[in-house]
Structure 1
């Protein structure tokens, strides 16, 4: 006798195994026979939501409109140490900006790619259009809060994440909040998320604050901190994280948030201390290990940095960036036998042209270190073949052309001045390029 499994039970089984498309297809068949089956509707909306679900806590990327038409700026010139947009010089004895590379937005290069830290806020519309975006999140997707058991919460999540219809999501959340007599913290958080998506940050702040008054929840602290970061109030965000730690001692996500803000404000020493606290609670925290390793590398401790990157390798992290960092650490730690093999692995794992350019640039940097200027020149040219806006490669080519005596020669990148100008066009605030151009202009003045 053949036994068939109940379709809804099978769909639920697929959902639990993260086979979301199969789950949705079975629910669709169920609804064709029973259009009013609430369980099937609820499960299908959950499956469709999970297909596109992104943790709102970490994703904080600004579009061109928000970047160029910011209506939430409090002061044009913020005091030093109070703004994420003008982080200023390093504090607390950390490495100077001349030692630690900076992004085009003026922030120090972090050891872990996270949203809105690498690209930052471009200064012009042209930079905004060509600014690369990162799709990776630094924190794992948070689990559901157990509210999916009600069809109303399931519907909201579907409208918010899958349909991306903020107006209807806001209306639903407002009606649900009113129905709950303004005492349900979860719906207030959803209201705040809708306001945040719509750019109404002060309204979002009120909702998150009100939710915290009803229930102390870690995610609410993280959402509220996002609001203050978008309003460029890092000190307020830091105080909020510390307030959260009073209620949730040792909470990794709150400590990580403090470390990120210190890092973005170029207070590297304080950021490292908080990342160390993170590792005391979670010794497999990839972001903390990577950032501490990066800090050791930029403070001339490549041997210690190598230990942290090897730890990531032991944990199963296997990507181009890791092998690229391993190659640099091995080179500066004088472990030359491992340097080229690490870069070979990095080249084999590249996922896009930008990564390919970065690896070739670092190989060229190693070639300069060992005195093979011909190889270095070829590597920098390969870098530009994969990324024509690589300012550091242009700068290094300009230096090599200067050493050859090609200062004024006309031709594509055949003169030091031409390459330096292209470097300035790609990254106007690049310190090394500005110094090189100053030397070249002095040479022209003497002539």
Structure 2
């Protein structure tokens, strides 16, 4: 069999390592074989390719040192960084939220599980997600690690020495230039050289190729030049309307914290590509980030209308039904995921909770046992925490105490477990232990209002009115709708007046 045909066959089957080896053998025999050179370039790119359309996780640098903020105090419902209360959102006491105030999503994706810290101190102290104890790294750091890890495939040095390339020569040859650009951008992570090649190629094609404009926009986005990226994408859409162009332009507006403008762009894309699930999913994600849960669920249902195997839509709809006191409906959606082949800790954990609240007690214990058998160090803490809630529901306080202790043994930063242990210790009359647990809880998760309020109530019982007042204020700041904290503040104000 012809080696070149075999290499291309491996490439089409995504066996990039074998394709790379055959192309290397061909290049050893003939270093000027352009077809082998181009195919090896694409194979090396395929090994480390990352989809650029999805929204990136914002790290410490992007969160705190943001030069693109337009308004420090945005109007409610117009900012993803300061989401409003939204319509149809259940009480925060029912559905947990992140540090930024948005509800925890039913599907883990970039930007949903981590909070946006307001100060550098918070960013350094608590840059953690809900499902992992590892710090959230910035997008730039992730790309750097991808670029360095990819060099393991070429132990003798880089396949292409970029410093010796004549980009003008390659820019005039579109077939080679596109493969070379993707290699530089994804494999080498050299954004500046990729930008230079894209600029020269755009000039060579007399600004008539939409593909190069999209690549220019990607380079500008990586460099933090969002307005330049926006102009390139708009120009590309005028020349050729493509789904990726609309998605990437929406991503730019999300990074600029203009969610309503991003929704308009996605809707423009839907006019040209009706029923496109990626555009519908983008709109649903933005509504979910703005706490507009009813609108989010409506678009997720539209996604299922066109793609009934869409895992994210099914999971988010199930989460919404669970937190709106419809565990039976949520159970149907989670069972659908199980039938589709999703088999992980989180799914069995959610199935166990739905069975418990739907009063199907025979299946509750089985689901949690399966969840524990599949759990690792990062997820077992959440499973034990939920088992503790089930124990509280059946009135077994001792079992609940042991489960919350097991949760802390698995994840020492589990703020919710600290808060619940504080409540149980307070019931036992152990005042100092309860105070310590409440303090540990709100230090780890300052966005939660429960430990603040519990600490305020405890301090009020002990007669420490000033500490109680401060803690109640923090509870109101964490959750404006918490009526109990406001009532406690009024009572304490009356105490201060009498004093």
2:441 alignment counterpart = 423
After TM superposition, the structure 1 = structure 2 runs for residues 132-171 of structure 1, keeping only pairs within 5 Å, are 132=134, 150-171=175-196
Alignment of 1:164-313 (within 5 A): 164-313=189-338
Taking structure 1 as reference, are residues 446 and 197 closer, same or farther at Cα in structure 2, changes over 3 Å only?
closer
The Cα shift of 1:187 comes to 0.4
Distance in 1 separating the partners of 2:240 and 2:102: 35
Separation of aligned partners in 2, 1:173 and 1:439: 62
Q: Does the 8 A contact of 1:331 with 1:366 survive in 2? A: yes
Q: Is the 8 A contact 1:108 1:266 kept in 2?
A: yes
Offset of residue 59 of structure 1: 4.3
Aligned partner of residue 80 in structure 2, secondary structure: coil
Is the 2:277–2:303 Cα contact (8 Å) retained in structure 1? yes
Is 1:366 matched with 2:384?
A: no
Contact 2:60 2:124 in 1 (8 A): no
Structure 1 counterpart of 2:60: 64
Contact 2:174 2:201 in 1 (8 A): no
CA contact (8 A) 1:119 1:133 kept: no
Structure 1 residues 128 and 37, CA, compared in 2 at 3 Å: closer, same or farther? farther
Confirm or deny that 1:21 pairs with 2:17.
yes
CA root-mean-square deviation = 1.7
Q: 1:230-253 deviations in whole A, cap 9, x for unaligned?
A: 110011111111111111111111
1:124-135 to 2 correspondences below 5 Å: 124-127=122-125, 129-131=127-129, 132=134
Kindly provide the CA deviation profile for residues 45-67 of structure 1, in whole angstroms up to 9, marking residues without a partner as x.
11111111111111412232111
Which residue number corresponds to residue 96 of structure 1?
91
Q: 2:104 matched to 1:109?
A: yes
The 3-state SS of whatever aligns with 1:97 is coil
Match of 2:379, SS?
A: helix
Cα 1:200–1:214, aligned 2, differ >3 Å: closer, same or farther? same
Alpha-carbon distance between aligned partners in 1 of 2:54 and 2:407, rounded to the nearest angstrom:
31
State whether residues 127 and 136 of structure 2, in contact with CA within 8 Å, keep that contact through their aligned partners in structure 1. Answer: no
| Cα distance in 2 between the residues matched to 1:337 and 1:120 | 37
1:129: Cα distance to partner? 4.5
Q: Name the counterpart of 1:380.
A: 404
8 Å contact from structure 1 (residues 89, 97) kept in 2: no
After the TM superposition, which segments of 4 or more aligned residues of structure 1 sit over 3 Å from their partners?
A: 127-135
Q: Indicate if the aligned counterparts of 1:64 and 1:128 stay in contact, CA closer than 8 A.
A: no
Deviations along 1:191-220, whole A, 9 cap, x unmatched?
Answer: 000000111101100111111111111110
1:399-422 CA distance string (max 9 Å, x none):
1101111112xxxxxx11100000
Q: CA deviation at 1:149?
A: 8.6
Give ranges in structure 1 of 5+ residues lacking alignment.
Answer: 136-147, 409-414
Q: How has the CA–CA distance of structure 1 residues 167 and 446 changed in structure 2, closer, same or farther, with 3 Å as cutoff?
A: closer
- C-alpha displacement of 1:257: 0.6
> Which residue is 1:142 aligned to?
none
2:77 and 2:236 map into 1 onto residues whose CA distance is: 30
Are residue 339 (structure 1) and residue 364 (structure 2) matched? Answer: yes
Q: Displacement of 1:388 after TM fit?
A: 1.4
Instruction: Name the residue aligned to 2:74.
Output: 78
- 8 Å CA contact 1:89, 1:96 repeated in 2: no
Q: Distance in 1 between matches of 2:353 and 2:335?
A: 13
2:485 matched to which residue of 1?
Answer: none
Distance in 1 of aligned mates of 2:115 and 2:235: 30
- When residues 297 and 133 of structure 1 are mapped into structure 2, their CA distance, relative to the original with a 3 A threshold, is farther
Q: Note if 1:404 corresponds to 2:399.
A: no
Distance 2:326 2:136 in 1: 28
- Using structure 2 for the length normalisation, give the TM-score: 0.82
Alpha-carbon distance in 1 for matches of 2:225, 2:368: 46
Q: Is the 8 A contact 1:115 1:134 kept in 2?
A: no
Cα separation, 2, equivalents of 1:98 and 1:116: 22
Contact 1:113/1:134 (CA < 8 Å) preserved in 2?
A: no
Deviation at 1:274, TM superposition (A): 0.6
CA distance in 2: counterparts of 1:377 and 1:188, whole angstroms: 59
- Alpha-carbon distance in structure 2 between the residues aligned to 1:393 and 1:107: 21
What displacement does 1:23 show? 1.1
Alpha-carbon distance in structure 2 between the residues aligned to 1:267 and 1:97: 14
Match of 2:49 in 1: 53
Alignment partner, residue 139 of structure 1: none
Q: Residues 335 and 432 from structure 1, CA distance in 2 versus in 1: closer, same or farther, beyond 3 angstroms?
A: same
**Residue 413 (structure 2) pairs with residue 389 (structure 1):** yes
CA distance in 1, matches of 2:174, 2:193: 21
- The alignment's TM-score, normalised by the length of structure 1, stands at 0.92
Residues 93-102 or 65-74, more deviating: 93-102
Aligned counterpart, 2:454: 436
- In structure 2, runs of 5+ residues without a counterpart are 138-172, 466-499
Instruction: Give the secondary-structure state (helix, strand or coil) at the position aligned to 1:150.
Output: helix
